[in-house]
C-alpha cells in the first residue's frame, strides 16, 4: 500500500457504516437484513459482514474480499449474498458501489411478482428508469447472481422476486439515493393505482426527458471536472508557496 491508502480505507469504512445506519433508520434493513459494498481498489471490495444489524455496525466490522468473494481480511464472516455483489462488479465496470436492502413498498411489489415497469412520473426517467423484476432465486445462493445477469447491463435498480431490491451506482451515495428513489416510486405507483387513474408518460415525453437527463449528466460531469481542477490548482499553489 502507498502511504495514503490506509487513510482512504478508513474513510471508506466510515462511509459504509454511515450509509448502513441511514438505511436502518429509514426502515430498509430490518434485523440483520441487507448488505452494502464498494470497490476498494481494482482487485478488492469492502463489504458489510453477515449477521450484523446495519443500525449497530462499526467501521471495524467491515470485511475485505477479492472479486471472487473470497475473504482477504476482517474478523467477521462474509455475507452469504456476496455472489450478488460480485456479479454486479464483473458485469458493470462503471459501478463503484452496490446496496441491497428490503424497503417495504418496493419489496411488496417484488413479493407480488410485479416490477416497477410503468413510467408514471418524470423523476423515474431522470433517475432509475424502469425497475425490472428478477426471477425468483434462493437467497444466499448463486441463483441470485444468475437471476440478475440478464438485467444488469441496462438497469441500475432491480427488484428481487419475494426478496428485496439491489441498486448500484458510481459511488455509495449514488447507490443509496437510487434505493431511496425506488421506494419512492413504488409508493407513488401504489397510490396512483389505488386512485384508479394512473397515467403513464407517453413515449415522446419519455424521450424528451431522456434528452434532458443526458444534458443534466453532461453538466454535472463538467462541474465535477471544474471542481477537481480548482482543487488541484489550489494544491499546487500551496506547494509553490
The DSSP annotation for 25-62 comes to HTTSS-TT--EEEEESSSSEEEE-BTT--TTT--GGG-
158, β-bridge pairs: 166
Averaged pLDDT for residues 164-193: 97
Is the predicted pLDDT of residue 232 greater than 80, yes or no?
A: no
Is the predicted pLDDT of residue 90 greater than 90, yes or no?
A: yes
Find the helix or strand (DSSP H, E) in which 157 lies: strand 157-160
Predicted local confidence at residue 221, as pLDDT = 61
Predicted local confidence at residue 5, as pLDDT = 72
28-32, 47-51, 136-140, 215-219: range with lowest mean pLDDT: 215-219
* φ, ψ (nearest 5 deg) of residue 124: -60, -45
How many Å apart are CA 124 and CA 52, to the nearest integer? 32
Per-residue cell: 189: 405507483
Residue with cell string 500551496: 238
**What is the average pLDDT score of the chain?**
90
Count Cβ atoms within 10 A of the Cβ of residue 233 and give its class: 0-12 exposed, 13-18 middle, 19 or more buried.
exposed
Count Cβ atoms within 10 A of the Cβ of residue 148 and give its class: 0-12 exposed, 13-18 middle, 19 or more buried.
buried
Task: Look at residue 134 and give its three-state secondary structure.
Answer: strand
Averaged pLDDT for residues 139-159: 96
Which residues carry out catalysis? 81
pTM across the whole model: 0.87
CB count within 10 Å of CB 108 equals 13
73, β-bridge pairs: 64
How many Å apart are CA 114 and CA 108, to the nearest integer? 9
CB count within 10 Å of CB 64 equals 18
What is the pLDDT confidence band of residue 180, given thresholds at 50, 70 and 90?
very high
Find the helix or strand (DSSP H, E) in which 98 lies: strand 97-101
Compute the Cα dihedral for 134, 98, 200, 213 and give only its sign: negative
What is the pLDDT confidence band of residue 228, given thresholds at 50, 70 and 90?
very low
13-27, 43-57, 93-107, 193-207: range with lowest mean pLDDT: 193-207
- pLDDT tens per residue across span 33-69: 999 999 999 999 999 999 999 999 999 999 999 999 9
Q: Is 27 left (phi over 0), alpha (psi -120 to 50) or beta?
A: left
Predicted local confidence at residue 157, as pLDDT = 98
- pLDDT tens per residue across span 191-216: 999 999 999 999 999 899 888 888 87
Is the predicted pLDDT of residue 172 greater than 70, yes or no?
A: yes
The set of residues, in sequence order, having a beta carbon less than 8 Å from that of 15 and lying 6+ positions away, is 38, 172
Amino acid at each position: 500500500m502507498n502511504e495514503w491508502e490506509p487513510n482512504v480505507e478508513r474513510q471508506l469504512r466510515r462511509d459504509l457504516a454511515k450509509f448502513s445506519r441511514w438505511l436502518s433508520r429509514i426502515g430498509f434493513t430490518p434485523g440483520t437484513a441487507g448488505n452494502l459494498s464498494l470497490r476498494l481498489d481494482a482487485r478488492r471490495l469492502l463489504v458489510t459482514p453477515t449477521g450484523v444489524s446495519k443500525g449497530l455496525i462499526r467501521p471495524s466490522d467491515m470485511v475485505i474480499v477479492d472479486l471472487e468473494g473470497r475473504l482477504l481480511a476482517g474478523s467477521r464472516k462474509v455475507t452469504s449474498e456476496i455472489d450478488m455483489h460480485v456479479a454486479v462488479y464483473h458485469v458493470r465496470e462503471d459501478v463503484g458501489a452496490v446496496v441491497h436492502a428490503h424497503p417495504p413498498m418496493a419489496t411488496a411489489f417484488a413479493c407480488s411478482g410485479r416490477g416497477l415497469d410503468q413510467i408514471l412520473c418524470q423523476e423515474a426517467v431522470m433517475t432509475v428508469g424502469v425497475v425490472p423484476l428478477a426471477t425468483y432465486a434462493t437467497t444466499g445462493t448463486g441463483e441470485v447472481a444468475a437471476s440478475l445477469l440478464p438485467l444488469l447491463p441496462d438497469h441500475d435498480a432491480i427488484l428481487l422476486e419475494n426478496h428485496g431490491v439491489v441498486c448500484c451506482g458510481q459511488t455509495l451515495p449514488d447507490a443509496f439515493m437510487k434505493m431511496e428513489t425506488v421506494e419512492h416510486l413504488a409508493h407513488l405507483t401504489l397510490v396512483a393505482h389505488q386512485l384508479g387513474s394512473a397515467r403513464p408518460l407517453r413515449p415522446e415525453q419519455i424521450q424528451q426527458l431522456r434528452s434532458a437527463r443526458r444534458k443534466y449528466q453532461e453538466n454535472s460531469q463538467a462541474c465535477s471536472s471544474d471542481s477537481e481542477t480548482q482543487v488541484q490548482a489550489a494544491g499546487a499553489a500551496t506547494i509553490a508557496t
